[in-house]
Amino acid sequence: MIQKPLGSAFGASSTAADVIEGHDLAGRNAIVTGGAAGLGLETVRMLARAGARVIVPARSRARAEKALSGIANVEIAEMNLADPQSVGTFARDIVAAALPLHILVNSAGIMATPFERDHRGNEMQFSANHLGHFQLACGLRRNLAAAGGARIVALSSRGHFYGGVDFDDPNFTARPYDATLAYAQAKTANALFALGADRRWAEDGIRAFSVHPGGIVTGLSKHLPVEIIRQYGAIDDEGNPVIDPENDKKNVGQGAATQLWCAVAPELAGHGGVYCEDCDIALPSPAESEVLRGVKPWASDPELADRLWTLSETLAPTSQA
């Protein structure tokens, strides 16, 4: 894995519409988790606009139908990332349909939630953000391979700066629960998953990428106090989102640009396993650096990616892993 920018034609201010312009995705199949809201919804809109058939798994079909109403080429299925049985059922349906899967965007997520466990005992942020997506991607591996050149895009975050995966206690059974550390762990896991998947599946034509979309005020931040959001400079005194893409404060269109770029950019051929931001491959960020750019060592280390893969197989068993 080489974290070296390519010199993309796009940048921090680019939008998803800019990135998709000129792409013809007719005949391509895509799955976008979290596709009924925020960055996922914008990603669905752009993929469908370019002609792709887009499947959106959602916890609530009714809410998804309302959000996606009027968008052509979109199908909705029920799935709950925190419920292994639900994820397994969805994946088996896709496998049974023998559907080649060209693009898988793992955009769904939760952030800084109150302490909760899934029914297996896994901490909920780790479960919904990472383990559910791990199970989903592994379950769909044969569909991805059948595409003859597929891409997985895992939505990570600069939140990974706050900490890596605690391999001794990932589910906060011995240490006190900290919502920020739990989110950081999950976002680090998203980046390590992409690295691990790319290393294992590249020979099948499957390349994987992780993404920092930027700081965007969406429903994801609903568990954060307004005072905290304001301290980050994400909203002004009137509560309006601050849009300053060069300083990582973006609108939804700008925020969705990098994940869409990873899904379709031809210049990324041969560059899987990398962490991307502002529509380009990000630079490494030394562990001690306080500069808010790039990817930390604990989110880009192949050995840690292998450890996470082994842990994930234990916590979210799947016959396709």
Q: How far apart are the first and last CA of the chain?
A: 21
Range of the domain at 205: 16-315
Tokens 């500069």 correspond to what residue? 291
Are 202 and 270 a contacting pair, CB within 8 Å? Answer: no
- The DSSP code sequence of 141-205 is HHHHHHTTSEEEEEE--GGGGG----SS-TT-SSSPP-HHHHHHHHHHHHHHHHHHHHHHHGGGT
Q: Report the number of distinct structural domains present in the chain.
A: 1
pLDDT at position 51 is 98
Does residue 233 form part of some domain?
yes
Does residue 6 form part of some domain?
no
pLDDT at position 236 is 61
Does residue 5 form part of some domain?
no
Q: In this predicted model, what pLDDT tens digit does every residue of 32-89 receive, in sequence order? A: 999 999 999 999 999 999 999 999 999 999 999 999 999 999 999 999 999 999 999 9
pLDDT at position 255 is 96
pLDDT at position 228 is 60
pLDDT at position 208 is 98
The catalytic position among 162, 183, 232, 275 is 183
Does residue 7 form part of some domain?
no
Does residue 138 form part of some domain?
yes
- The DSSP code sequence of 27-96 is T-EEEEETTTSHHHHHHHHHHHHTT-EEEEEES-HHHHHHHHTT-TTEEEEE--TT-HHHHHHHHHHHHH
Does residue 215 form part of some domain?
yes
Does residue 186 form part of some domain?
yes
Q: In this predicted model, what pLDDT tens digit does every residue of 232-257 receive, in sequence order? A: 666 666 667 767 788 889 999 999 99
* Nearby residues of 266 by Cβ (< 8 Å), 6 or more positions away: none
Does residue 10 form part of some domain?
no
Q: Kindly give the parts of the chain with pLDDT less than 50.
A: 319-321
Question: Is 177 annotated as catalytic?
Answer: no
In one-letter notation, the amino acid at residue 176 is P
- CATH number of the domain at 29, please: 3.40.50.720
pLDDT at position 319 is 47
If we measure between CA atoms, which residue out of 34, 40, 36 comes closest to residue 136?
34
pLDDT at position 317 is 73
